[in-house]
Amino acid sequence: MEKNIEKNYIEGKVVVITGASSGFGKLVSEKVAERGGIAIMGARRENLLKEVADGIIANGGKAFYRITDVAKYEDVKALVDLAVEKCGRIDVMINNAGTMPLSFFSDHEKSLPAWHNCIDVNIKGVVNGISAVYDLMMKQGQGQVINLSSIYANHPVMGSGVYQATKIATWYLSETLRQEAQGKIKVTTVKPTGIAGTGLFDCILNWDSVKGMFGAKTEEGLEMTSPEYMTAHPECTDIESISYAGCDPNTLAENIMYVINQPWGVNISDITVRASNERYLL
């Protein structure tokens, strides 16, 4: 009997990815194309989108892109329409675009604009993504929606209230869609751990807010994330070691590929990706 995991179920699939100009979105777009899928990429920065698309095409892959602000339904619908125009269908919708403006409520005067944007991108963006593909996927009789949540959705901690609320909302939107569309749309919630190098860390407004992730292990956790510690303990950056302490973006992207690379009859509905030696409370 052939093992499903050894097959390439990504080949030929039309995959729409938001937030595709950098971070997880860029990596997933490239990996989809490498495995024979068609990447339909949306993001707000056209120059970076074009750079990613050009790289994919230069390597023999297929990619199309459109400037997309996920907070605007008309933008997301236009991205979906592009996929249908170029490919005739959509197999997978990945609602990846996100922002993480961690800060305390005492920081509200400087944080409110970023918090409001976070709600627009992280919640409205997911609602818009689902809405833009729902009718099409139901008519097709099959489709897959993958929503990027976070380990921050697991438990409330200080310094991240607004961001956590958006990621809990993402999780709940996924679960309600799964229940409503069973047998027609597969739905997956992906909860990445804290992963540097994606651009999300650049959104942090108050770095003291990060301490909430570590709880009682704050001192130990912060020490382990310092460049000095990592240099002195190379096993913490070795993915082959049980002491691996900080996931790189590629690890998360590969697990998103795993979620897509399943037969239509199999749905990985929840997946959390961690480093085995991390010190996060969540």
Q: Would you please indicate which residues are annotated as catalytic (active-site) residues?
A: 163
Cβ neighbours, 10 Å, residue 108: 11
Q: Please give the structure tokens belonging to residue 9.
A: 């179920």
Q: For residue 271, list its beta bridge partners.
A: 190
Q: Please give the structure tokens belonging to residue 66.
A: 């459109």
Strands in 97-244 per DSSP E: 143-148, 185-192
Strand order in the sheet with 270-273: 62-67, 38-43, 14-18, 92-95, 143-148, 185-192, 270-273
Cα angle: 173, vertex 70, 105; to 5 degrees: 70
Identify the residue whose tokens are 């938001």: 18
Task: Quote the CA–CA distance of 252 and 239 in Å, as a whole number.
Answer: 13
